[in-house]
């Protein structure tokens, strides 16, 4: 190549460089916008994984930051809270099968015909349980949190009372003079203590809940009804504890094997 030709090529290259520099910045490499769909990072996720949602539309997810931050998936929706009337996503059939516990404070936290069962009357929280159907009428009295004596603990649970203590209610028992003074389903028991005879001044009784049918209670005790005030003799045959309670009238206990007066 001659000296003249080389000089001409140098002038042409300089001219091209001058034009290119004045045409604006030439971007050789550029960063993809953070969070752009289709970029190599995790930011391309659209819709994300909904928090607790049952479908991508259930939780409105937002992508924050892009790039390798993967976007903070946020949004609440679609979670099964309180399904079938229960809290925490526990279905009624699962709770009944013992597969999950539903925590409660009062019976209103549980489905209809369930109770909020607790370990003691002082507990703030309990567990929802179905109210049982009671077939065993064996006498095993308990005192419910409502100060009513129940024939056995099954009847207490059936009534929806949260807890109980073993034995009849003593001091603080729900007082009454007639059956109408007691909660629905309860009777006003006037079972006199062994050392108390009939004919004394009227005293308040205590509310009891007994089986509806007293014929199969298996109670070995017998009670003699007190005569109405101003009359002599008994007012009827001797009866079981269940019948004596349901009558709402004073009854005197009989010794085992004693004849009815």
Q: Structural domain of residue 125, as residue ranges?
A: 83-131
Q: Structural domain tally of the chain?
A: 1
Q: What is the SS3 assignment for 175?
A: strand
Q: Is residue 4 part of a domain?
A: no
With respect to residue 107, please indicate whether it lies within any of the assigned structural domains.
Answer: yes
Taking only the tens place, the pLDDT of each residue in 79-131 is: 223 334 454 556 566 666 666 678 999 999 999 999 999 999 999 999 999 99
Q: Determine, yes or no, domain membership for 151.
A: no
Q: What are 7-66's pLDDT values in tens digits?
A: 556 555 555 555 444 555 444 334 444 443 333 333 333 333 333 444 434 333 333 333
* Span of 47-51, 107-111, 157-161, 168-172 with lowest mean pLDDT: 47-51
Ordered DSSP codes for 218-233:
-----EEEPPPTT--S
Rounded to an integer, what distance in angstroms lies between the CA atom of residue 36 and that of residue 65? 10
Q: Which residues fall within 8 angstroms of residue 128, CB to CB, at 6 or more apart?
A: 86, 95, 101, 102, 103, 104, 109, 110, 111, 114, 115, 116, 117
Query: H/E element holding 149?
Result: strand 149-150
- Inside any domain, residue 126: yes
pLDDT, tens digit (0-9, with 9 covering 90-100), for 194-234: 877 788 788 899 999 999 999 888 888 899 998 875 444 45
In a domain, 111, yes or no: yes
Q: In this structure, is residue 109 part of a structural domain?
A: yes
């Amino acid at each position: 190549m001659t000296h003249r030709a080389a000089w001409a090529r140098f002038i042409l290259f300089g001219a091209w460089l001058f034009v290119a520099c004045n045409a604006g910045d030439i971007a050789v490499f550029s960063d993809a916008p953070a969070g752009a769909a289709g970029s190599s990072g995790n930011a391309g996720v659209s819709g994300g994984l909904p928090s607790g949602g049952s479908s991508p539309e259930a939780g409105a997810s937002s992508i924050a930051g892009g790039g390798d931050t993967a976007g903070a998936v946020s949004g609440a929706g679609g979670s099964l809270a309180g399904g079938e009337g229960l809290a925490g996503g526990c279905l009624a059939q699962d709770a009944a099968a013992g597969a999950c516990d539903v925590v409660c404070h009062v019976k209103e936290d549980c489905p209809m015909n369930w109770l909020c069962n607790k370990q003691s009357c002082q507990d703030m929280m309990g567990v929802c349980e179905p109210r049982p159907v009671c077939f065993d009428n064996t006498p095993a009295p308990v005192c419910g949190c409502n100060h009513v004596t129940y024939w056995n603990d099954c009847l207490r649970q059936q009534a929806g009372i949260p807890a109980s203590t073993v034995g009849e209610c003593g001091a603080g028992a729900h007082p009454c003079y007639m059956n109408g003074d007691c909660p629905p389903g309860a009777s006003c028991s006037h079972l006199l203590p062994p050392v108390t005879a009939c004919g004394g001044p009227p005293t308040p009784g205590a509310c009891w809940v007994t089986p509806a049918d007293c014929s199969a209670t298996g109670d070995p005790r017998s009670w003699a009804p007190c005569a109405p005030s101003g009359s002599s003799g008994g007012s009827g045959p001797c009866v079981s504890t269940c019948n004596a309670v349901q009558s709402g009238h004073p009854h005197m206990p009989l010794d085992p094997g004693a004849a009815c007066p």
